[in-house]
Amino acid sequence: MMGLPGGCLMIVLKANKKRKAMTISREELKERLAQLPRLQLASLPTPLEELKRLSAHLAGPQIWVKRDDLTGLAFGGNKIREFEYQIAQAVEQGYDVLVHSAAAQSNQSRQTAAVAAKLGLSAVVVGRDDAHAQTQGNLLLTHLFGAEVDLPAPEEQAQAVAAKMAALTAAGHRPFHTSSDARIFRSVAYVDGALELLAQCEEQGVAPAAIYLCSGAHTHVGLVVAFKALGVDMRVVGISPSPRDDREAAEGHLALARECAAVLGLDLSLKVEDFESYAAFVGPDYGVVTPEGREALHLLAQQEGLLLDPSYTSKAMAGLLAHVRAGWWRSEQSLIFLHTGGTPALFAYAKDLGY
């Protein structure tokens, strides 16, 4: 795993640890972000749109969607925003191969391959021969972007990734794994994303009580760090796409948040309770369509013409819908749903969705 490159750390505050952490202005936070290397990959800002028909259908709070599925490159998604900061580290340090390994229909594999193509780098994807390994959706796009693709059996994937990284290094290449190398800069990217969102909320007169998102780690962490740094009172409600213990997930997010804050020289009082994440909507496993996710996917498509994906955003929306129906939120409140993308996977899930 890469460490933080020299020159990228901001000034770390060294005052008495007992003093209370202070908030900073948006302008100061922007200045700190501006000192970091950054690529221009995404079409920003992404829209903030009101979901009027969905809100009326639920007879609950006003629901808005932040369209990070529209970041532009390679059918968009949150990773394109994150890669502006993360892969900037690879470019700065002369890495020449972008590597990723996950499920056959991985959104991040697709986006890794696309960014490599745009930057003139090589891409290697070590997926796995799972239930959705047909050449469709994200896997088709990964091939189209020119990546070298290998799909070993799931139990052989970890060994195959290690072997490929070693072989690339032995051949004189410098491979950069987009899941692990300089990973904290993916959280940093959503500190910037939070600034963009807050400006849009002010422009449109939206005062959200909470923002919902599918929470793996980095997008969630970046939002919390930004809101803490700015003194913004907004709940960030994460819905996990994978089975995990909610408390352990929060502890992991806390560790990442402290690392992210250190990169930006932020003196924050962070605690595990700041990270709200629920694994109750995962279903049997990652990537398995649930009845609640299927209902959310159909509801958004038919009420708003808005497409969700089967593994991430449909489950996050299922969580939001369940909380609204359970009375978590009043009708006069507003909620934002952060759409993190992933829709190309739909084309590999027709049977799972009942078609």
> What does the pLDDT look like over 141-182, one tens digit per residue?
999 999 999 999 999 999 999 999 999 999 999 999 999 999
- Alpha-helix runs per DSSP H in the chain: 26-34, 52-58, 78-92, 107-119, 137-144, 157-170, 184-204, 218-230, 246-263, 291-304, 313-325
Decide if 52 is inside a domain: yes
Domain annotation covers residue 7: no
Beta bridge partners of 126: 150
Least confident of 17-31, 175-189, 270-284, 322-336: 17-31
Residue 21 has pLDDT above 80, yes or no: no
Q: Which of 323, 163, 172 is nearest to 237 (CA)?
A: 323
**Are 247 and 122 in the same domain?**
no
- Which of residues 177, 212, 245 is at a domain's end? 177
45 domain-assigned: yes
Count the domains in the chain.
2
Secondary structure of residue 173 in the 3-state scheme: coil
Pairing between strand 122-126 and 97-100?
parallel
Locate 238 and state its tokens.
């994460």
Shared domain check, 105 and 160: yes
Structural domain of 156: 96-177
pLDDT, the chain, mean:
94
Both 265 and 294 in a single domain?
yes
Q: Between the CA atoms of 182, 345, 105 and 250, what dihedral angle is there, to the nearest 10 degrees?
A: 50
Catalytic residues: 106
pTM of the model: 0.93
In a domain, 83, yes or no: no
